[in-house]
């Protein structure tokens, strides 16, 4: 007999409600990770993110075994197979209870309801735990509807938040018996050279993750509000890979933040908390508006928009060959490291969906495929915000000019030169939009679109809807 816990986006043993509760019966506990390459491919999960998770799981596995908690791997071929595979393992272990922290994506919810039916039929209970800081069903407007605008959502969130919401579950209890054999973490090859290099950048293991968070709070949070928009500075937390895979919990972050700092508007801590709330907000949106998880625009009317089909322009955007230095440097950062600064994510996403008028869904998928922090809710939210099709999105006529953004946020071209070293010799005042001669001299391509004309083309397309 053993309770069964299934890992989702919660690769941690601290503050893991489902795991902790699964350990309380003391009837033995088995944890299982689902190795599902077909699902990862279908969801465009980056091989880098998967390898990162498997590296972290290696450490987690050791900790679990020390607590007499078993570690198993379920092999599945697509998410549709998961309910039956989970059930089969539960039967093999003679589990009376299965425990899962909910993921809110459409497919994951469908999987859990399928599993619930199957388990119920076998007399096994499925115990699902909410994975938001405040249950998304409890955050409502004055008229009882769900929010579609961030600022009032965040105000209500702050008002509702109690110390109980920030209760941190202890580590799971050490089990008296462990009567099943542990599985090894499966081999997973990163075939691409860029991925092989970038995986080295990301440390795993709970101690490292907490150290990173602590040093951000100590050294950087006070300047966060003023410095966070400058991509050449290391001024944001870079915790997104850990938050996405659940190696660090957002609830734990808020609890620590609010125990060390006052939540005063205008401060670094206030701004940083707002970003954690944006993350919660996008999870809230996919929960209440599942259409966004099904490849649709949040704003339904924009499903009619006719996007340009231009594989050459799209490829140039992907490879950072647009002829706009800030965009090309940003895409190089993504391709080489698996991460991109937030300001640049907005700039490149707007450029693709507005100036190139290419469907934001292609950009969304490309990001997922490269990002180590690829998170369905935040990525979809960020893309739809930039493309003006989303919840509380940028209005369609607000189109960032990438050259002006470059002059403003990378004034001296430090970020550009870091990722495009061939532009090293170009002076700062020319780096944002090099002259024809400088382009030829430095073997740098012309811009793939005229910014003024393409802006007008986007305005026409959006305003015609
Ligand atoms: C087009 C686009 C795509 C994006 N895709 C992702 C994605 O796949 N995964 C992802 O985690 N974030 C995504 N973001 C949000 C944001 O860019 C990253 O979370 C941030 O850059 C991560 O860096 P950081 O950890 O240093 O963030 P910090 O500035 O230190 O913020 C702390 C945490 O708050 C959360 N956060 C910050 N900004 C946002 C935001 N705008 N929306 C939602 N959550 C936020 C993240 O979890 C982040 O780690 C996207 C934004 C855009 C515009």
Q: Is 442 a residue of the active site?
A: no
Question: Which CATH class, in words, describes the domain spanning 132-166+205-288?
Answer: mainly alpha
**Is the pTM for the entire model greater than 0.95?**
yes
Ligand 1 site, CB within 6 A: 228, 236-240, 243-244, 275-276, 278-279, 282, 342, 345-346, 349, 367, 371, 373-375, 378-379, 381-383, 386
Expressed in angstroms and rounded, the spacing between residue 296 Cα and the centre of ligand 1 is 21
Q: Is 385 a residue of the active site?
A: no
Q: What is the pLDDT of residue 338?
A: 97
Q: Is 275 a residue of the active site?
A: yes
Q: Which atom of ligand 1 is nearest to the CA of 373?
A: 9
**In the chain, where are the structural domains located?**
3-131, 132-166+205-288, 300-463
Expressed in angstroms and rounded, the spacing between residue 382 Cα and the centre of ligand 1 is 8
Q: State which fold the 3-131 domain adopts.
A: Rossmann fold (3.40.50)
Expressed in angstroms and rounded, the spacing between residue 91 Cα and the centre of ligand 1 is 40
Chain centre to alpha carbon of residue 385: 15
pLDDT one digit per residue (tens) for the chain, 465 residues: 899 999 999 999 999 999 999 999 989 999 999 999 999 999 999 999 999 999 999 999 999 999 999 999 999 999 999 999 999 999 999 999 999 999 999 999 999 999 999 999 999 999 999 999 999 999 999 999 999 999 999 999 999 999 999 999 999 999 998 878 999 999 999 989 999 999 999 999 999 999 999 999 999 999 999 999 999 999 999 999 999 999 999 999 999 999 999 999 999 999 999 999 999 999 999 999 999 999 999 999 999 999 999 999 999 999 999 999 999 999 999 999 999 999 999 999 999 999 999 999 999 999 999 999 999 999 999 999 999 999 999 899 999 999 999 999 999 999 999 999 999 999 999 999 999 999 999 999 999 999 999 999 999 999 999
Choose which CATH entry (3.30.70.141, 3.30.465.10, 3.40.50.1100, 1.10.579.10) describes domain 300-463. Answer: 1.10.579.10
């Amino acid at each position: 007999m053993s309770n069964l816990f299934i890992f989702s986006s919660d690769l941690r043993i601290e503050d893991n409600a489902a795991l902790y509760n699964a350990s309380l019966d003391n009837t033995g506990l088995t944890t299982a990770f689902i190795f599902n390459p077909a699902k990862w491919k279908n969801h465009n999960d980056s091989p880098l993110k998967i390898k990162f998770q498997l590296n972290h799981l290696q450490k987690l596995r050791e900790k679990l075994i020390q607590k007499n908690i078993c570690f198993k791997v379920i092999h599945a071929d697509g998410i549709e197979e998961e309910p039956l595979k989970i059930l089969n393992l539960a039967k093999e272990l003679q589990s009376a209870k299965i425990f899962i922290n909910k993921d809110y994506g459409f497919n994951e919810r469908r999987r859990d309801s399928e599993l619930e039916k199957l388990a119920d039929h076998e007399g096994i209970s499925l115990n699902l735990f909410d994975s938001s800081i405040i249950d998304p069903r409890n955050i409502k407007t004055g008229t009882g509807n769900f929010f579609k605008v961030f600022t009032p959502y965040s105000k209500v969130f702050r008002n509702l938040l109690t110390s109980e919401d920030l209760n941190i579950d202890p580590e799971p209890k050490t089990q008296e018996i462990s009567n099943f054999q542990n599985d090894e973490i499966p081999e997973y090859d990163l075939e691409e050279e860029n991925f092989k290099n970038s995986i080295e950048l990301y440390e795993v293991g709970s101690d490292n993750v907490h150290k990173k968070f602590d040093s951000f709070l100590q050294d950087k949070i006070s300047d966060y509000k003023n410095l966070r928009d400058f991509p050449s500075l290391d001024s944001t937390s870079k915790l997104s890979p850990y938050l996405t895979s659940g190696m660090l919990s957002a609830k734990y972050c808020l609890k620590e933040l609010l125990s060390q700092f006052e939540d005063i508007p205008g401060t670094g801590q206030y701004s940083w908390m707002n970003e954690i709330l944006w993350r919660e907000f996008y999870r809230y949106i996919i929960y209440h508006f599942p259409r966004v998880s099904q490849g649709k625009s949040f704003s339904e009317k924009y499903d009619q928009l006719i996007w340009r089909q231009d594989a050459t322009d799209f490829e140039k955007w992907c490879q950072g060959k647009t002829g706009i230095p800030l965009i090309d440097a940003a895409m190089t950062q993504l391709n080489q490291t698996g991460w991109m600064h937030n300001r640049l994510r907005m700039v490149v996403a707007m450029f693709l969906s507005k100036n190139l008028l290419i469907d934001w869904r292609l950009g969304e998928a490309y990001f997922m495929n490269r990002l180590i922090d690829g998170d369905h809710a935040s990525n979809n939210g960020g893309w739809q915000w930039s493309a003006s099709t989303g919840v509380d999105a940028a209005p369609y006529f607000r189109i960032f000019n990438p050259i002006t953004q470059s002059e403003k946020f990378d004034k001296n071209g430090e970020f550009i030169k870091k990722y495009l070293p061939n532009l090293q010799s170009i002076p700062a005042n020319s780096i944002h939009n090099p002259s024809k001669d400088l382009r030829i001299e430095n073997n740098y391509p012309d811009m793939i679109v005229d910014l003024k004309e393409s802006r007008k083309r986007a305005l026409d397309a959006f305003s015609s809807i």
